[in-house]
Every structure is written in structure tokens, then in C-alpha cells.
Amino acid sequence: MRLSELGGKEIVNLNDGGRLGVINDSDLVIDTKNGKILSLLVPDRNQFRLFGDKDEVEIPWDSIRKIGEDMMIIEFNKK
């Protein structure tokens, strides 16, 4: 799968069925030494933001369980 094919997919948490956002709104954290994806940074939709502050939820890449046609299923316990 190409990175461009991830765009537009909804991120859904397997643990509670909650929608975390869309891949288009997220960033990737990449290890610059080996090029591996470490995590996905998703804007926290439950936090109030002022003046461009960014509250994000960091989801480890190994929390991804399935990438389907329309969504990405993750297994994640938000702290």
C-alpha cells in the first residue's frame, strides 16, 4: 500500500469503537536512521484548542490492526 492510498481513511479504535479522525489530518513519526514508521500523530478531537495549539494523540504504529478500504482499525488505550 502506498502512503497516498491511506489518505481519507477514518481511524477507528477497536477498544471502544471511537472515531479518532481521518488520516489526512494526521502526521507520521519516522525514524530517520532506518526510515521505519514509529507512530501516527492524530489531532485530539476532545481537546479545546486556542490560537493554533496542537494537542495530539500519538498512536504507536504497531497498534494498527487492519487497514481496509474506508478505515484503519487500531487497538489503543488512550492515557
Strands 19-22 and 27-30: what pairing? Answer: unpaired
The answer to whether the CB of 77 falls within 8 A of the CB of 15 is yes
What number of other Cβ atoms are within 10 A of residue 24's Cβ? 9
Q: What is the pLDDT of residue 53?
A: 53
- Answer whether 0.85 is exceeded by the pTM: no
Q: Give the residue, 52 or 13, on which the prediction is more confident.
A: 13
The pLDDT tens digits for 4-48 are 888 889 999 999 998 888 888 888 899 999 999 999 998 876 655
pLDDT at 50 over 70: no
Q: What is the pLDDT of residue 55?
A: 81
Residue 28 contacts by C-beta under 8 Å, 6 or more apart in sequence? 37, 39, 40, 41
Q: Which domains does the chain have, with CATH numbers?
A: 3-74 (2.30.30.240)
Q: What is the pLDDT of residue 5?
A: 83
HEC-encoded secondary structure of the chain: CCHHHHCCCEEEECCCCCEEEEHHHCEEEECCCCCCEEEEEEECCCCCCCCCCCCEEEEEHHHEEEECCCEEEECCCCC
